[in-house]
Each structure stands twice: as structure tokens, then as C-alpha cells.
Amino acid sequence: MTAATSPVEAVLTRATPEARRSVIVGFVLLSLAVIVLFVFAFGSEEGEMATFNLGLPGYANQSLAWVVNARFLSYLVGGFLGFLAVRRLQRANLRRTDLALGVGLCLFVLSFLAWAAAGQAFSLVGMLRSSVTSSVAITLGALTGLMCERVGVINIGIEGQLLTASFVSVVLSSAFGTLAGVVGGIATGALLGLLLAWLAIRFRVDQIIVGVVINILALGLTSYLASRILSVSQDLNAPERVPSLRLPFLADTPVLGPMFFDHNFFVYGMFMLVALLQVALFRTRWGLRSRAVGEHPRAADTVGIDVFKTRYRNVIMGGMIAGFGGSYLALTVISRFEENLTGGIGFIGLAAMIFGRWTPIGALAAGLLFGVSTGLSTKLGVLGTPIPSEFLLMIPYVATIIAVAGLVGRVRAPAADGQPYIKD
């Protein structure tokens, strides 16, 4: 492709995948611009204002707010999205495609919120805070999959690990306290991780089938035990809700304080895990060996790395992370166990892992993105938008499909992902 060739011409001549993706992003941005201009702008009354509250009761600057003209904002956003789209479609320079898409999506959401909140007050900080809490289980599920797939083991059973750990956490926490519940949930996740590793590594059973079996087993077992035990002994389904730990000074920071510095230890633990795994995976010997086993296990075995031990260890550690996530769902989100409590969070976590390109930081960013979609569906229902509630509930799952179906760009899983290793 010459310097004068545009991405559109490149697509017509079947050029590089990067050029095709640039064109796809350009058309996506153009579509968003049309929606903003012809739906949000014309759908807002002239002079109608939207109020975004940037504070919460009990925090410093709780009365801080941003008042904006909904129609004027839509005009600005629509024009800028159109500009970004034209730049993507006309230029052969394919850099910053992801940045352009990210900026465009953020502006589209902002315009959408202004249209939905026109004439009303909307707690923007409240939505962002709930987005962070909604992202915890998704991010932990993504980290679980990442730990397994980085050593070449596919873990489809994250959903089952989360669900089973939630049940055990509720029972133990109700009987012996929060600490026992969290430890029990982590141990349960580790045992299911061991089961996955044993079947996939020792007996070389198809890893997809093993994961499906774990999910079905977890759903059936927890549903049976809940109907037989928790329905009779209600005191075993009443754990104490984990309280928030407000960090002094940081929690009073405008906007960022309520979002990140007034949560329970599960949220802080998620951020610590992401930072620890990011460093460990790319800056330590353990991380190098894990990545080597996932990319080329035979070469790793040749230089003295125990492939089987590495895979066992990482899959079990991934199960422990899933157990931690299951404890969060049971002890924080609803403080009780309900049948099929996870509701597909494990599968969304897998999508977040792919969207995050098999990196901890990427998994966190993807988890926050899906958390925002969940927060939007909740807050928009409160605003009474004309969008049916069924469509609002679909937002997290639609975002998952879009993220995995094409807007992620070119991603490459570890080369040995899903391949059993046979030692000569």
C-alpha cells in the first residue's frame, strides 16, 4: 500500500487487516455521529439543560455539578465524531485507531447521557462508582482466564468456579464469619482449578468439554444444595455484608474519591491483584516461564522448565482468583445466595480477557468498560428513558458481543492455548 492509498482503497484491493479495521472504525464513528445528530440533538428540546452531579452526599464538594445544554452538546459531539470518521476513512496512516474509537465511544456515551437526562439531574459520579463495583467480578474472572491461558489451558469453567465459590462463601460466612467465607470461597475455586488441571493436563481431556462440565456441575449442585439446605436453614443464607473501608483524604477527592477510594477490601484487592500480576507476568522469572509454557511448551521443557508443574500451579492460582470473585458476589453484591447468581459473569470475564489482549491491565480496562455498560443499564432505568427496560438489560451482553466480534482488532492468543502437552 502506497502512502497515497487511503484505507478505503486498501479495503477494496484486499490490503492489510489493519487497513480494513481502520475503515470499519471509520464507519462505526460515522454511524455514531449520525445517531448523535439526528436522534440525540433533534430529540432534545431547545434550551433544555442536563445536570450532571459530580458529588455524592457525605463527601466533600457534594454539591458540585455540571450543567450543559443537551442539544448544543450533541451538536458538538456529532460534529467531532464526524471529523474523526472522515480522518479514519481518508488517511492511510493507521496509527491511533484504538484511541480514536475509544474517544468516540466515550463522547457518544456522554451525548447519550445528556439526551437521557435532559431536564433532569443525573448522578454521574454515582454511575461511575457503581461501574467500578460492577467491574470487580468481571475483572477477577478475566484474571482467572488469563492465568490459565497464559500457560496454554483454556478455562471455560470460570462461571462454575464463581458460582460454587459464592455458595460456599455464603454458608461459611453465615456460620463462622466473613473471613471463613472468603477463605472457603478461595479454597473452593482452587479445588475446581485442580479438577480442571487434573483432567486437562493429566488425562488430556478436551479443555472446552471440561469447562462445560464444571459449569453444569456447579449449576446443578448449587441449585440442589440451595433447595435442600438454604431453603430449610435460612440462617445459613444470611451472611453479614462486607462494609466499605473509606480511605482518609483520598475519598474526599472530587469525582475520583467516591469512585475509587471508598469501597470494601474486595475492590482494593482487585486493583492490587492487577498491579501484582502485571509486574509478575512481565518482570519476573515466574512470568517469563509461564509465558514460555503458553507459547512453546516443548522449547520450555528443553531448557528445564517443568511444563506440567507450571500449568498445574497457574490453573490452581487462577481458580483461587475465581474463588475470591465468587466471595465478592455473595458477600457484597446481594449478601445471600440465589440460584444462578453469576448470570453469565464468567463468560463476560472471558470476553474481557480477550478484549484486554491477555494482559492484567487490559483485563482491568475491559472490566471497567463492561462495568460502565452495567451501570448505564441501571441508571437509565431510574431516569425513565423511552428505551424499554429489556433493551437496557441487554447492554452488558451486547457490549460483550461487539467487543469480541471485531472492534478488538487483531489479537493473538498464546500459541499453545488449548493444546495438551505430551512429553517424549
Of residues 27 and 143, the one with the higher pLDDT is: 143
Convert 67-86 to b/e letters by CB count within 10 Å (16 or more is b). Answer: ebbbbebbbbbbebbbebbe
pLDDT at 105: 83
Question: Which residue has 482449578 as its cell numbers?
Answer: 193
Let me know if 156 is exposed, middle or buried by CB neighbors in 10 A (0-12, 13-18, 19+): buried
How many angstroms separate the CA atoms of 57 and 171, rounded?
A: 34
| Torsion angle defined by CA atoms of residues 135, 137, 140 and 141, in that order, rounded to the nearest 10 degrees | -110
Tens digits of per-residue pLDDT, 318-362?
A: 999 999 999 999 999 888 999 999 989 999 999 889 888 899 999
One-letter amino acid of 369: L
How many angstroms separate the CA atoms of 394 and 262, rounded?
A: 29
Of residues 40 and 159, the one with the higher pLDDT is: 159
pLDDT at 288 over 80: yes
pLDDT at 191 over 60: yes
Average pLDDT over residues 367-374: 85
Average pLDDT over residues 15-41: 83
Query: Which range is least confidently modeled, 57-61, 106-110, 125-129, 333-337?
Result: 57-61
Q: How big is the chain, counted in residues?
A: 424
How many angstroms separate the CA atoms of 138 and 144, rounded?
A: 10
pLDDT at 201: 95
Pairing of strands 121-123, 49-53: parallel
pLDDT at 408: 55
How many angstroms separate the CA atoms of 60 and 112, rounded?
A: 28
Highest mean pLDDT among 91-95, 174-178, 331-335, 376-380: 174-178
Of residues 284 and 407, the one with the higher pLDDT is: 284
How many angstroms separate the CA atoms of 330 and 185, rounded?
A: 10
Tens digits of per-residue pLDDT, 230-244?
A: 988 899 999 998 989
pLDDT band at residue 38 using 50, 70 and 90 as cut-offs = very high
Question: Which residue has 436453614 as its cell numbers?
Answer: 233
Average pLDDT over residues 304-312: 96
Of residues 106 and 61, the one with the higher pLDDT is: 106
Average pLDDT over residues 174-195: 97
How distant, in Å, are the alpha carbons of 57, 157, 292 from that of 152?
48, 15, 10
- What is the percentage of the chain residues whose pLDDT exceeds 70? 89
pLDDT at 14: 46
- Domains of the chain as residue ranges with CATH: 7-119 (no CATH), 128-407 (1.10.3470)
Closest listed residue to residue 171, CA positions, set 224, 233, 216, 242: 233
Pairing of strands 65-69, 262-263: unpaired
- Angle (deg, nearest 10), helices 97-116 and 17-35: 20
- How much is the mean pLDDT over the chain? 87
pLDDT at 405: 61
Contact 358, 181 (CB under 8 A): no
pLDDT at 213 over 50: yes
State the DSSP H helix or E strand holding residue 66, giving kind and residue range, or none if neither: strand 65-69
Contact 352, 138 (CB under 8 A): yes
pLDDT at 94 over 70: no
pLDDT at 25: 82
Average pLDDT over residues 237-266: 89
Of residues 121 and 345, the one with the higher pLDDT is: 345
pTM exceeds 0.85: yes
Residues in Cβ contact with 396 at an 8 Å cutoff, skipping those fewer than 6 apart:
348, 370, 373, 374, 377
Contact 258, 374 (CB under 8 A): no
Tens digits of per-residue pLDDT, 372-395?
A: 887 777 777 777 666 765 676 676
Query: Which range is least confidently modeled, 122-131, 178-187, 188-197?
Result: 122-131
